[in-house]
Amino acid sequence: MSTADLGLPVDVPSTALFTDQYELTMLQAALRAGTAERRSVFEVFTRRLPEGRRYGVVAGTGRVLDAVENFRFDEDVLRFLRERAIVGEDTLEWLAGYRFSGDIWGYPEGEVYFPGSPIMRVEGSFAECVLLETVILSILNHDSAIAAAASRMTSAAGDRPLIEMGARRTHELAAVAAARAAYVGGFASTSDLAAGFRYGIPTVGTSAHAFTLLHDRERDAFRAQVDSMGRGTTLLVDTYDVAEAVRTAVEVAGPELGAVRIDSGDLLLVAHRVRQQLDELGATGTRIIVTSDLDEYAIASLAAAPVDAYGVGTQLVTGSGHPTASMVYKLVARAASEDPKAPLVAVAKKSSGGKTSIGGRKWAARRLDAYGVAEAEVVGTGPVPAQLVDRQLLVELVKGGEVVAREPLDAVRERHIAARAGLPMSATQLSRGDAVIPTEYATEG
């Protein structure tokens, strides 16, 4: 079993303080008011996609499951809350025994979503559900933003593989999450060893300009790398003169040289020249890898270039201009009273300025046209129409506090590829546009 199949703890003893203080304020007030145990339903959704995006990508679900399992108020955490007088002793006593015992449903990781899609539904007592708001949103908002950017990039790249190389452009822990989300979005590998260790993602690495500059001659640097790593290694050829470096690289490694990497200049022009030179030198099997602050638009512009793979860093780990998915976590239903058998009552915030939401415990289904292509995201409350029963999107993730849907990351990656393929062809266009399918509401009454 690979590490991707396991529920691994994060790098802190507990995830309980990945929480905004107002969640504890609400908890304490609800405990004192006697409403904390009211059965409640919270939903995660976004009101809109980032400008110009045609679809979103659900990513981070596996990390959410790990975070919920590790949401524990240990002695150090309780001591911190007591010393800061954040909550009182009665609340601290309640927190000491906290274990999420409710249910979580959600879109399976890797699935696509649209405005209004109930991406995740958390059910249980108000007290136990409200505490999870910040940690769930922080994971889903970050990972889904990265996965959406990765999906656009892999679509633009076609069959050419992409390497995630953004670790040095973001927080060290965010880099690991970003590598995972990029893999969900279709990237083939990562340069981040922590991501490889934790999630089983394939890792790759070449060398930096510093290694070439360390040596008296470029030839000496190439010889050292080939002697150490073998002829199949990738040599960086743009430290000085690209043409001279390519010639030297083939002389040192022979026509069996694995690849050359180009990290600067007019990549379209340089890639054509390097391909011609490699072929003339007999290195017809040597691949060309390009890097240099690529995004989906730059990748698309290189479609006609003789490029074999792309390395992407900054633009990927920042969501290619959209670093968050803007998801929210809202109470949509709660019991009419503290009676465990009390019926659920739909609730919703009334607000102007585009912040309205729709109350009620929701289901979601994707309606297909006669060709099997998605034509609408249908979100509703109450009974599911018979024609949509087999097209429902939410799956059970946690039942009675126990995780029931952990899965290998490769399965998530394959799901995303299939989900994207089921959308109208315009979904992968890089030109600006609205969501590729509309969201329709089918509510009771």
Per-residue pLDDT at 2? 44
Percent of the chain as helix, strand, coil, to the nearest 5: 40, 20, 40
Which structural domains are found in the chain, ordered by start? Answer: 3-131+326-442 (3.20.140.10), 159-320 (3.20.20.70)
Write the pLDDT tens digit of every residue in 166-214: 999 999 999 999 999 999 999 999 999 999 999 999 999 989 999 999 9
φ, ψ of residue 236 in degrees (nearest 5): -85, 120
pLDDT digits (tens, 9 = 90+) for 271-297: 999 999 999 999 999 999 999 999 999
- Alpha helices, H only, 160-255: 172-184, 193-199, 209-214, 218-229, 242-253
DSSP string, 342-402: PPEEE-----STT-----S-EEEEEEE-TTS-EEEEEEEESSPPGGGGGGB--EEEEETTE
Which residues, other chains included, contact 404 with Cβ-Cβ below 8 Å and sequence gap of 6+? 396, 397, 398
pTM: 0.93
Looking at residue 1, its pLDDT comes to 38
Q: Which residues contact 83 (CB under 8 A, 6 or more apart)?
A: none
Q: How, if at all, do strands 309-312 and 162-164 pair?
A: parallel
Cα dihedral across residues 326, 120, 14, 203: positive or negative: negative
Residue 115's identity, in one-letter code, is P
Provide the terminal-to-terminal Cα distance of the chain, rounded to the nearest Å. Answer: 49
Q: Which residues of 16-46 are buried (b: 16+ CB within 10 A; e: fewer)?
A: bbbbeeebbebbbebbeeebbbbbbbbbbbb
* Residue 9, pLDDT score: 44
Residues 6+ apart with CB under 8 A from 433: 52, 54, 426
Q: What is the pLDDT along the chain (445 residues), one digit of tens a residue?
A: 344 455 554 445 589 999 999 999 999 999 999 999 999 999 999 999 998 899 999 999 999 999 999 999 999 999 999 999 999 999 999 999 999 999 999 999 999 999 999 999 999 999 999 999 999 999 999 999 999 999 999 999 999 999 999 999 999 999 999 999 999 999 999 999 999 999 999 999 989 999 999 999 999 999 999 999 999 999 999 999 999 999 999 999 999 999 999 999 999 999 999 999 999 999 999 999 999 999 999 999 999 999 999 999 999 999 999 999 999 999 999 999 988 889 999 999 887 666 778 999 999 999 999 999 999 999 999 999 999 999 999 999 999 999 999 999 999 999 999 999 999 999 999 988 899 999 999 876 5
